[in-house]
Amino acid sequence: MSQSINFKRHRRLRSSNAMRSMVREHHLRTEDFIYPIFVIEGENIKSEVPSMPGVYQLSFDLLLDEVKEVFELGIRSVIFFGVVSEKDEIGTGAFAEDGIIQQATRLVKKEFPELLVVADTCLCEYTSHGHCGVIHNHDVDNDESLQLLAKTAVSQAEAGADIIAPSNMMDGFVAVIRQALDEAGYSHIPIMSYAVKYASAYYGPFRDAADSTPQFGDRKTYQMDPANRLEALREAESDVAEGADFLIVKPAMSYLDIVREVRDNFNLPVVAYNVSGEYSMVKAAAQNGWIDEKALVMEKLTSMKRAGADLIITYFAKDVAKWLKEDN
């Protein structure tokens, strides 16, 4: 080839695995992951979620074994979701002193004090109608719901939760919860806000796992329109002003542009929620032999870090932790 032709030789930095590792810009670590766990009432229950292979509803007597495995894999954060049989119009189980999440938190923090317990703060798993707040005239009453969410957050903090994660998407939820926590003596407890939560079709398997499907209508009057980008920035800006300490973008896979927007505009830790539908699609394809599951999952989660996520809530956390150990 003529020496007069000048071009960049980018392949020099891809010449070997060692070279590629040296210049790799983003990495996955077990410390990046928050592992979701579904806690169910009863005894000796380990019930696999049909639409989420490898994910289980676990009763209290089996919960510590699960958490022990998580901790030994190097994962240092979990988020609990409750599955209850008794529900009512206002979701009393969410803020009861002996509520399922409160009991799970006390149990786990006693045995694993170094594990960070994130408490999902919402009412949908505990309401008979499946919505995230109090219903009046077939609509969620924003301000009345806020008072119950504040009670829920305080009860979770009293139980020992390290982080409060409100997922309800009511206007003003961060401000009201922050004030309630401060007044109750929990000014040191951070809020991991579901700041940008879209009304997504990717949530279907989760609603099987948590038994939280709305009994009428949908959640589009409080969760965001998937077509909107600027609205995400307005939502995040409000939560930052109200006192959020982390910003969650949910879902992650189809919203990496939003993860990047949030990362570029705010200096708080950004959390990507790799949701149930994203998980189940990969598991289904892997079970059919259509994909290399490990390669695809590692690529997908790395893309979330590349987009700007500091942390990832993912059902793949245990799988990836095992793969990372194997690779090392």
Q: What is the per-residue pLDDT for 205?
A: 85
Phi, psi of 313 (to 5 degrees): -85, 120
Q: Does the annotation count 197 as an active-site position?
A: yes
Beta strands in 240-302 (DSSP E): 246-250, 270-274
Tokens for 131?
């919505």
* Band (73; pLDDT cuts 50, 70, 90): very high
User: Which CATH architecture best describes the domain 26-327?
Assistant: Alpha-Beta Barrel (3.20)
β-pair type (46-48, 56-58)? antiparallel
Q: What is the per-residue pLDDT for 58?
A: 95
pLDDT for 198-251, tens place per residue? 999 888 887 777 666 656 455 667 788 999 999 999 999 999 999 999 999 999
Domain spans, the chain:
26-327
Q: What is the per-residue pLDDT for 46?
A: 95
pLDDT for 25-67, tens place per residue? 899 999 999 999 999 999 999 999 999 999 999 999 999 999 9
Q: Is 207 annotated as a binding residue?
A: yes
Q: Is 167 annotated as a binding residue?
A: no
Nearest CA to 94 among 43, 58, 145? 145
* Band (133; pLDDT cuts 50, 70, 90): low
> How many residues does the structure list for the chain?
328
Q: What is the per-residue pLDDT for 2?
A: 59
Does residue 102 have a pLDDT over 80?
yes
Question: Is the bond preceding residue 226 a cis peptide, omega within 30 degrees?
Answer: no
- The structure tokens 């806000």 sit at 193
Q: Does the annotation count 151 as an active-site position?
A: no
Helix segments in 34-172, DSSP class H: 60-72, 100-111, 142-159
Q: What is the per-residue pLDDT for 110?
A: 96
- Dist. CA 95–CA 106, nearest whole Å: 14
Q: What is the per-residue pLDDT for 171?
A: 83
If you average pLDDT over residues 109-135, what whole number do you get? 83
Torsion-angle region of 276 (φ positive above 0: left; ψ -120 to 50: alpha; else: beta) = alpha
Please list the residues that pair with 119 across neighbouring strands.
80, 164
List 250, 283, 300, 318, catalytic entry: 250
Neighbour count for residue 125 (Cβ, 10 Å): 24
Q: What is the per-residue pLDDT for 275?
A: 94
Q: What is the per-residue pLDDT for 321?
A: 97
If you average pLDDT over residues 172-188, what whole number do you get? 96
Q: What is the per-residue pLDDT for 138?
A: 74
Q: Is 315 annotated as a binding residue?
A: yes
Residues 51, 280: contact at Cβ < 8 Å? yes
* Band (189; pLDDT cuts 50, 70, 90): very high
Helix axes 230-242, 256-265, angle to 10 degrees: 40
Q: Is 255 annotated as a binding residue?
A: no
Q: Is 222 annotated as a binding residue?
A: no
What is the pTM (predicted TM-score) of this model?
Answer: 0.92
Taking all residues of the chain, what is their mean pLDDT, rounded to a whole number? Answer: 90
Q: What is the per-residue pLDDT for 246?
A: 97
Residues 41, 59: contact at Cβ < 8 Å? yes
What type of residue sits at position 167?
A: S
* Buried/exposed 289-324: b ≥16 CB within 10 Å, e otherwise: eeeebbeebbebbbbbbebbbebbbbbbbbbbbebb
* Band (257; pLDDT cuts 50, 70, 90): very high
- Dist. CA 28–CA 215, nearest whole Å: 39
Q: Is 124 annotated as a binding residue?
A: yes
* Buried/exposed 185-194: b ≥16 CB within 10 Å, e otherwise: ebeebbbbbb
- Dist. CA 211–CA 40, nearest whole Å: 11
* Band (136; pLDDT cuts 50, 70, 90): low
* Band (193; pLDDT cuts 50, 70, 90): very high
Which of these ranges, 4-13, 48-57, 151-160, 187-196, has the smallest mean pLDDT?
Answer: 4-13
Neighbour count for residue 328 (Cβ, 10 Å): 5
